[in-house]
Structure 1
Amino acid sequence: MFKDKHILLGVTGGIAAYKAVELLRLLKKAGANVNVIVTKSALKFVGKTTFEVLSENPVLSDLYFDTQSLVKHIDLATWADAAVIAPATANTIAKLAHGIADDALSTTLLAVTAPVMICPSMNTDMYQNIRVQRNLDILETDGWHIIDPDSGVLACKAVGAGRLPDPWFILDRLEAILTRKDLKGKKILVSAGPTVEPIDPVRFVSNHSSGKMGYAIARAAEKRGGTVTLVSGPVNLDAPVGIERIDVETCEQMASQMLSNLDQADIIIKVAAVADYKPIDPKTSKIKKKDNNNKDLCISMTENPDILKLIGEKKTKDQFVVGFAAETDDLEKNALLKIKKKNLDMIAANLVGSSDSGFKADTNKVKLFFRDGSLFDIPLMEKEKVANILIDQVIKKMG
């Protein structure tokens, strides 16, 4: 998303200005070309040289003395694909809300026609002040994007809202702003991760799913404007921003949540690797070695509900259902069989066992099989990219 994008980074005079350095580093790492505009008070916290070295561009801090061009601010405003102010102080927010242009940053932003994101950061009482909130409302009404501050212990020792969010979060929200909204108005139901079926209170049956592919699809769908519900088995992943996550453990719990949310969904993408079988008689106490007369332990298993088949049986003609299949052999044969047997519109299939794709890897390669017999091959790439290509194909097939 950020490759070759032109991003204006505005930095104002708050203690959180040091976080702007990390945000700048993340933007550059993502491939963006960044120009930094600072207020004079911001330079009391972070030196100009730091921003110039990291951005590889001259920093604008004064309209009349830092450049030979007296219209540099207009050049930057026209150049920008997006602007983000982090941190944004109460003073700068007030200026922007009322069209005051008395420094390099405020003057430039008045000429920006690209999306603008404001990240307030200040003392809790200042942030909650009715005048500051009124100014933020004005900017939001005008179409600017406001990122709510985090809560916690502030530099002034106050406790409450006012902390600048982590740079990765700001980057994520800026990416969402720049992403096309071709799923706006659509509700997407996604399942991810493994399920666990208890043997006793300390042991369970499960699989190697990390949840990375399902979470990537949920994030991509949210950034493209969709309203996303994510039903997740146990994973070591943070909840995606802007998404309702429902945590479950067993197949029966996942089936219950998927089916209860099914009627409201336009697109259902079942990525979770659900345990096909579960112990018939899970023990309420830990199984001890002394309880087993033989060295071998036999556990009787029974089949779990087939969630994807249940969804396929209940789907309407207006719903689009995508399944995932992790296979060890006969990929195409098994995938096509599942499409017909489970009444799917599409299935994403891949062979497991390779270290660079599948469950735990950050990359994946899949083949997309469709109900109409067509095939789309996604070569090895990051799972975030796979997710967006998969969504592209869903949208294409839905017309």
Structure 2
Amino acid sequence: MDCLFSQSRQFAGKRLHLGICGSVACYRLTDVLRALRRMDVHVSVTLTAGARRFVTPLLFEALGAMPVYGEMFAPGEDPFAHLEPGQHAQAMLVAPASADALSRLARGAASDMLSAQALAFDGPLLLAPAMNPRMWRHPATQANVALLRERGARLILPDCGRAACGDEGQGRLAPVEQLFWHALRALSPQDMAGRRVLVTLGPTREPWDGVRYWSNPSSGRMGGALALAAWLRG
């Protein structure tokens, strides 16, 4: 998913903080982490108590995340770790964002490491919810989402399909590729915001006569990269 910009140094040295909540989908964030690290993005991670039931801090440390936070005020933990992302990271992505996490963030709670870090973060905040479809549809969840949007949070809406519990509907974590590209967009300058760009791409066909034409083997990948770059910049 990072192949279009595999040679780019545009994001080298950028810093993103990744908050991971308890969900069966949390293992998919390892792919996002690996893709960001290949772009030389510095990634720090916070695992909620629920997330640590599914994955371990060592997994993310082994893939290049540094530091990886857990409980607030844990022995040996920096007493100001809840402020660190707001001081150093340019963007914050919470994925999977559970219903509980959305509720905490909407209320401005600061009772665990992740919610405190989000409350002290004033950069772009991206939220990628993942939960049972009925939980996602519940008016309380939708009210929390609307409030967070009103405050400037960027939502990466959940996908539709079969959830881990077997229920069908909207609630699955968005595709890994979407999380990756939205993360890069949050780290990009928005110097093209408000502009509309039209890109034509792919091979052309110029008629030669009634049955033949001139063409070329263009794949359209360059045009796709230009369109994506324009989107990343707003």
Q: Is the counterpart of residue 114 in structure 1 residue 114 in structure 2? A: no
Q: Find the residue that maps to 2:164 and give its secondary structure.
A: coil
Matches within 5 A, 1:69-88: 69-88=78-97
| Counterpart selection for 2:68 from 59, 68, 72 | 59
Q: Is the counterpart of residue 31 in structure 1 residue 14 in structure 2? A: no
User: How far apart are residue 205 of structure 1 and its match?
Assistant: 5.0
1:84 counterpart letter in structure 2: L
Q: Deviations over 1:28-70 (max 9, x none)?
A: 1111111110101101111121011113424211111153421
Q: Find the residue that maps to 1:73 and give its secondary structure.
A: coil
| Counterpart selection for 2:204 from 170, 195, 203 | 195
Q: Find the residue that maps to 1:52 and give its secondary structure.
A: helix
| Counterpart selection for 1:159 from 168, 173, 182 | 168
Aligned to 1:48: 57
User: How far apart are residue 176 of structure 1 and its match?
Assistant: 1.8
Aligned to 1:140: 149
1:51 counterpart letter in structure 2: F
CA contact (8 A) 1:154 1:160 kept: yes
CA contact (8 A) 1:151 1:162 kept: yes
Matches within 5 A, 1:280-359: none
Q: Find the residue that maps to 2:83 and give its secondary structure.
A: helix
CA contact (8 A) 1:86 1:120 kept: yes
Q: % of aligned pairs identical?
A: 36
Aligned to 1:16: 25
**Whole-angstrom CA distance in 2 between matches of 1:42 and 1:15:** 9
User: How far apart are residue 180 of structure 1 and its match?
Assistant: 2.0
User: How far apart are residue 86 of structure 1 and its match?
Assistant: 0.8
Q: Is the counterpart of residue 91 in structure 1 residue 93 in structure 2? A: no
- Flag the structure with larger Rg: 1
State TM-score, norm by structure 1: 0.53
CA contact (8 A) 1:36 1:55 kept: no
State TM-score, norm by structure 2: 0.89
Greater Cα offset, 38-47 or 205-214:
205-214
Q: Is the counterpart of residue 216 in structure 1 residue 225 in structure 2? A: yes
Specify which structure has the bigger relative contact order, considering alpha-carbon pairs within 8 angstroms and separated by 6 or more residues.
2
**Whole-angstrom CA distance in 2 between matches of 1:56 and 1:179:** 20
Unaligned runs of 5+ in 1: 226-399
Unaligned runs of 5+ in 2: 1-9
More strand by share: 1
User: How far apart are residue 184 of structure 1 and its match?
Assistant: 2.2
Aligned to 1:207: 216
Q: Find the residue that maps to 2:62 and give its secondary structure.
A: helix
User: How far apart are residue 171 of structure 1 and its match?
Assistant: 1.2
User: How far apart are residue 198 of structure 1 and its match?
Assistant: 8.6
CA contact (8 A) 2:92 2:126 kept: yes
After the TM superposition, which parts of structure 1 deviate over 6 Å for at least 4 consecutive aligned residues? none
| Counterpart selection for 1:125 from 117, 134, 156 | 134
User: How far apart are residue 196 of structure 1 and its match?
Assistant: 4.3
**Whole-angstrom CA distance in 1 between matches of 2:102 and 2:173:** 14
